[in-house]
């Protein structure tokens, strides 16, 4: 059976990846901080789909947590075929209203952990000339989000994934950035964001995001943006003059209270 390692697996997009991949016959290594929820999900998916589900509790905002998962990705005895870097956080405060500890933790999880785990996975996959990495980014990375380090971190994830993906494809390995917009998960609640201000038509389901993402991974895309409304937003972000886009972002940010996608 193929083996997938999914981070941030206890809820939202990570849990949707775990359920979808288990249904497709993948054995799973599930990573998150909440050991109890993680073990319960691993047991549930193992029973429901006849796969091997393993819980690997780790805090990826720490070097020790990253090192633990890196060692698992490097294990030649049971190689990982698919890495899904989904773990991430947002802050419902501008950079001026955030502590340096909060800002560092966001970058440690959203950027450093993605880089370290992607590197560990590719180091094991490239010699085998097979494997894939999905880094869950956000459409926010294409947009101007006033005072947001979250959007800056996701811009890095998308650029990093696309750049590394160009290199890895020469070696038979795929790397893709998955960039959804607003998704109904625990993300906004955990970040203290009032999601009631966001229009209903902007929301995506985690299952749909995963379905789009795995389809685009099979197609060999370097960047996947689920749903046409978000594809249009990304197109606008790339071609509309930046001054116009900045003014629109300021108005939208005030209206939505700086709610961040994904």
- Encode pLDDT of 136-167 as tens digits: 999 999 887 777 899 999 999 999 999 999 99
Domain span at 117: 3-256
pLDDT given at position 257: 44
> If you count them, how many residues does the chain have?
262
Q: What is the pTM of this model?
A: 0.87
Phi-psi region of 172 (alpha: psi -120 to 50; beta: other; left: phi over 0): left
The yes-or-no verdict on residue 236 having pLDDT over 80 is: no
Q: Assign 241 a pLDDT band (cuts: 50, 70, 90).
A: low
Mean pLDDT, to the nearest integer, of 214-231? 93
Residue 262 belongs to a domain:
no
Whether 150 is catalytic is yes
Overall domain count for the chain:
1
For the chain, what percent of residues have pLDDT higher than 90? 71
Sign, Cα dihedral of 66, 68, 72, 75: positive
Q: Is residue 88 within 8 Å of 111, Cβ to Cβ?
A: no
Residue 159 belongs to a domain:
yes
Distance CA 223, CA 134 (A): 10
Which token pair is 10? 């206890």
Distance CA 183, CA 13 (A): 8
Residue 261 belongs to a domain:
no
The yes-or-no verdict on residue 250 having pLDDT over 70 is: no
Choose the catalytic residue: 26, 150, 182, 230. Answer: 150
Which token pair is 251? 């108005």
DSSP state of 232: H
Q: Is residue 178 within 8 Å of 224, Cβ to Cβ?
A: yes
Residue 33 belongs to a domain:
yes
The yes-or-no verdict on residue 94 having pLDDT over 90 is: no
CATH label of the domain that carries residue 174: 3.40.50.720
What tens digit of pLDDT does each residue of 41-59 get? 999 999 999 999 999 999 9
Q: What is the mean pLDDT of the chain?
A: 88
């Amino acid at each position: 059976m193929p083996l997938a390692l999914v981070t941030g697996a206890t809820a939202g997009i990570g849990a949707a990846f775990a359920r979808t991949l288990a249904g497709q016959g993948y054995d799973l290594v599930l990573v998150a901080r909440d050991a109890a929820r993680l073990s319960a999900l691993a047991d549930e998916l193992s029973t429901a789909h006849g796969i091997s589900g393993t819980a690997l509790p780790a805090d990826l905002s720490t070097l020790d947590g990253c090192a633990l998962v890196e060692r698992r990705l490097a294990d030649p005895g049971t190689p990982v075929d698919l890495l899904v870097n989904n773990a991430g956080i947002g802050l419902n405060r501008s950079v001026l209203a955030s502590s340096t500890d909060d800002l560092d933790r966001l970058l440690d999880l959203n950027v450093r952990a993605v880089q370290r785990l992607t590197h560990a996975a590719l180091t094991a996959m490239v010699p085998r000339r097979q494997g894939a990495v999905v880094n869950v980014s956000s459409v926010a990375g294409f947009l101007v989000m006033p005072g947001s380090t979250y959007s800056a971190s996701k811009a890095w994830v998308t650029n990093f994934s696309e750049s590394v993906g160009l290199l890895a494809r020469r070696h038979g390995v795929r790397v893709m950035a998955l960039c959804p917009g607003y998704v109904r998960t625990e993300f906004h609640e955990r970040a203290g964001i009032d999601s009631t201000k966001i229009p209903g038509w902007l929301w995506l389901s985690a299952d749909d995001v995963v379905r789009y993402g795995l389809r685009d991974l099979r197609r060999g895309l370097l960047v996947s943006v689920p749903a046409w409304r978000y594809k249009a937003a990304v197109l606008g972000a790339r071609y509309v003059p930046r001054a116009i886009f900045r003014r629109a972002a300021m108005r939208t940010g005030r209206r939505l209270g700086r709610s961040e996608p994904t």
